[in-house]
Structure 1
Amino acid sequence: MKRRTMPTIAVLAATTALVLTGCSSNSDSSDKIEGAGGEASTSPKTPKDSSTAPAKLPDFGLPADVKVEIESDTTGDKAKDRILKEQAEGLMARQRVYVDLDPNSRYLTRYYADEALAFYVSEIKKAKAEGRTITGLYRYYDRKVQSHDDDTATVTYCEDRSKAYAKDIKSGKARKTKPSPEDFIKNTATLARTEQDTWLVQSFRGETSSKECQ
């Protein structure tokens, strides 16, 4: 299948402020990590628990201080489960790229394309120039394939970054922030199928302080 060029989702410009920034409402944005901006005045609720087992994914070689938890959210539908598996691998790949700070990483080109790829290339270059990487725990849950056909798919999922932080490369110190509702993000990703029968994220958007994800 040839990959289609999808319409741009009006998100990348808004999401630029999210990457390598935290989500606490009382800290400078340079001290935060990959979360979306937004206003909040109350403490976050405990994210919804789930008995779903973690997704079984390849080893992406992340350092010990970067942990990623992704619920498998399998459906029993072969096509949907394939999409969810590759989307989960893309989330792992994103963390690896932020560890390596390599804008030409094969992890990017394997899992991202079009607007999403251009966005991450730009943000990785910025993070590298500013001497920042990532640390902490990233949680992804309630992943659902909302629609799909032979060539395209839309996946929604929750993200918890309450324990994820920016880290100064030179000092090795984490720039910790207080948890806030902004740490809980509802994401929507558009994926496209390639001629090699793989799924790539083309574009995405995120809603911070999502009540659905708290």
Structure 2
Amino acid sequence: MLLTACGGGGGDKSSDKITSTQPVPTATSASPSASATMTVNRPVITFPGDAKNVFEDQHTGDPKKDAVLADNEQMVDSIYSAIIQGNAHTSAMAFYSKGLALGSAATFVQGWVNGDASWTGTIRWFHRKVTIRNDNSAVVVYCSDESKAYPKSRKSGKIDRSASNTASYVLYNTRLEKSPDGVWQTVNLVSQRGAKACKP
């Protein structure tokens, strides 16, 4: 079972064509994001000691773009925390995703639940680029490196280290929309496993 998060139709979408110039159409940590306000009650997302997401490119110098990136982090964390919890319908997932993105995320997590699997290790998220659009939406294109993260059996605790390093790099293209309370929610997400743009 691969760690790649939900694609446009659920699961890995290795055939998707993703470029930063053609964003997809509309479809963590416990620390508060840069877009947090005193009036927003954000869910707390935690991980056990053997699993973590590490995010690069957190600060662009533009407060609005930084807020988008911060909520992108929380969206990612909400999904990978849900896998560990064994719950495809967490409040954190519904807080940071909606529409097609939330539906495919739930399907993705449920696949892990059905397989009685969790994960361990470190996933690195990098090359994160933000484009703010005029319709109160944003596009975030980014990569992940799963070469140091592995599926783990819930029942036995056995870790599967057989995943191919060639398939460990994934390119993502996401669209986000700003909610009335100021949260940048992901509304669509597609992914391309093994993307050359993400390989070292």
- TM-score between the two structures when normalised by the length of structure 2: 0.76
Do 2:150 and 2:163's aligned partners in 1 also have CA atoms closer than 8 Å? no
Q: Distance in 2 between matches of 1:149 and 1:137?
A: 35
Do 1:181 and 1:208's aligned partners in 2 also have CA atoms closer than 8 Å? no
After the TM superposition, which of the residue ranges 171-180 and 197-206 deviates more from structure 2? 171-180
Write out per-residue CA displacement over residues 88-116 of structure 1, whole angstroms, 9 at most, x where no aligned residue.
Answer: 12112221111112122111111110011
Matched, 1:12 2:8: yes
Q: 1:158 to 1:57 in 2, by over 3 A?
A: farther
Write out per-residue CA displacement over residues 6-58 of structure 1, whole angstroms, 9 at most, x where no aligned residue.
Answer: xxxxx422x51x3xxxxxxxxxxxxxxxxx657xxxxxxxxxxxxxxxx9944
Deviation at residue 169 of structure 1 after TM alignment: 0.5
Matched, 1:208 2:186: no
The one of 118, 128, 134 aligned to 1:143 = 128
Moved over 6 A (4+): none
Kindly provide the amino acid, as one letter, of the partner of residue 135 in structure 1: T
Matched, 1:188 2:184: no
Matched, 1:69 2:54: yes
Matched, 1:165 2:150: yes
Matched, 1:128 2:113: yes
2:73 aligned partner: 88
Q: Distance in 1 between matches of 2:58 and 2:134?
A: 19
Matched, 1:97 2:90: no
Q: Distance in 2 between matches of 1:88 and 1:113?
A: 15
Write out per-residue CA displacement over residues 170-200 of structure 1, whole angstroms, 9 at most, x where no aligned residue.
Answer: 0011111244222111111111111111111
- Unaligned runs of 5+ residues in structure 1 are 1-10, 19-35, 39-54
Q: 1:56 to 1:148 in 2, by over 3 A?
A: farther
- TM-score between the two structures when normalised by the length of structure 1: 0.72
Do 1:73 and 1:142's aligned partners in 2 also have CA atoms closer than 8 Å? no
Q: Distance in 1 between matches of 2:191 and 2:54?
A: 18
- Unaligned runs of 5+ residues in structure 2 are 1-6, 16-28, 33-43
Aligned CA-pair RMSD: 2.1
Q: 1:123 to 1:37 in 2, by over 3 A?
A: same
**Alignment partner of 2:103: what SS?**
helix
Q: Distance in 1 between matches of 2:179 and 2:91?
A: 16
Q: Distance in 2 between matches of 1:200 and 1:176?
A: 33
Do 2:118 and 2:154's aligned partners in 1 also have CA atoms closer than 8 Å? yes
2:3 aligned partner: none
Q: Distance in 2 between matches of 1:122 and 1:115?
A: 11
